[in-house]
Structure 1
Amino acid sequence: MVEERNPLIRFVNSMYSLIDGPVTFFREKIVEPNQEKYPYYHQKFRRVAGIDECYTDDYVCKFEAQHQFLRDRSVDCEILSILRQRYEHCNTEDLNNRGEEKCEAIYEVYKDAAGAWFAKYGDLGPMPDVLFAFTKQQHRMIWERRHGPVGSGMKEDEFKVEDPDAPRKKP
């Protein structure tokens, strides 16, 4: 290494090594050797029973289902955030081609994911509960069975037969 003759550069280098030395020592001697023994990163939790599989008086099962729901929600929120960032990055990458076909595929994936997120977690409030989410899912399934997919309009009654002799009401 070439020795610096400028006193200002020597001073800056010495201050850098004074601050960086203990950090580098801690990282190389303590953190990296213990990473193999203690796998703190990317911890995988086992899947637990959902709220629909819990008995009404099994509070431990309900507690585990609530925490599983919150973990799933945080993962889904992060996925949605990453998709949003990719779309925004695509739009700001080339300002001349803004709004063209280049980013449409990314936007469609983001829009589908956002719709799925809202269908599952939307309207639950700031402190979502697994039981409310399950009830919301049940209500949505009942609605779709009776009226068709949400957002497609209400389907006509297939079995409704009008009596031709019945008097018609004026509109």
Structure 2
Amino acid sequence: MGHGGDDDNLFRAFMHSLYSTIDAPVTWFREKVVEPNQKKYPWYHQTFRRVPTIDQCYTDDAVCDFEANAQFKRDKLVDSEILSILRQRYEDCMLYESPDHLSMCKPLLDKYKDAEEAWFIKYGDLGAYSDARKAYMKQKHRMIWERRHGHLSEQTKEQ
């Protein structure tokens, strides 16, 4: 084959050894120090363990009550952020698809309206100082009302 192939192999061998010299300590540090000390989350944000909900707490259990309220507030923040993202997607679609936005963005609008309705059913009319117990009572009253009168969506269809 000649000297051309040998030079090529020598050059490749030199570059490989140079790469290994630089890469080996970095790889070792990552595998032996960084990865064993990392917290293993399947997501980019921290996930909290689910705690008993307010209906599972005893009335005199202050710690359970506090944990249920903290979880309720976290859930409300997450649900509000999801609603905000859906609204932003719809607004972006309207800007991008104009003048056909009424037909092109209808699925996004429907998804946003459904999420907005679900958010209001869960958190609406609770006030600024809402907590898990108030939300639970609201859900209980809604279920009692629906048992007596039927679902609200069926009531609006009849009218």
Aligned to 2:51: 48
* Distance in 2 (alpha carbons) for counterparts of 1:93 and 1:50: 42
Q: Which moved more, 1:84-93 or 1:37-46?
A: 37-46
Give CA-to-partner distance per residue, 1:149-171, whole Å, 9 cap, x none.
124329xxxxxxxxxxxxxxxxx
Aligned to 1:70: 73
1:135-154 mapped onto 2 (5 Å cutoff): 135-153=137-155
Q: CA RMSD in A?
A: 2.0
Structure 1 stretches of 4+ with a deviation exceeding 4 A read 33-36, 38-41
Aligned to 1:125: 127
Contact 2:97 2:104 in 1 (8 A): no
TM normalised by structure 1 equals 0.65
* Distance in 2 (alpha carbons) for counterparts of 1:102 and 1:72: 31
Aligned to 1:83: 86
- Residue 138 of structure 1 aligns with an amino acid whose one-letter code is K
Stretches of structure 2 that go unaligned for 5 or more consecutive residues are 1-29
* Distance in 2 (alpha carbons) for counterparts of 1:74 and 1:38: 26
Stretches of structure 1 that go unaligned for 5 or more consecutive residues are 1-32, 155-171
Does residue 60 of the first structure (1) align with residue 81 of the second (2)? no
User: Bigger relative contact order, structure 1 or 2, given CA contacts below 8 A and separation 6+?
Assistant: 2
* Distance in 1 (alpha carbons) for counterparts of 2:126 and 2:113: 20
Pick one of 74, 96, 99 that aligns with 1:96: 99
Name the structure with the higher helix share: 2
Pick one of 108, 111, 128 that aligns with 1:109: 111
Q: Report the secondary structure of 2:52's partner residue.
A: coil
Number of residue-to-residue matches in the alignment: 121
- What percentage of aligned pairs have identical amino acids? 55
- Residue 47 of structure 2 aligns with an amino acid whose one-letter code is K
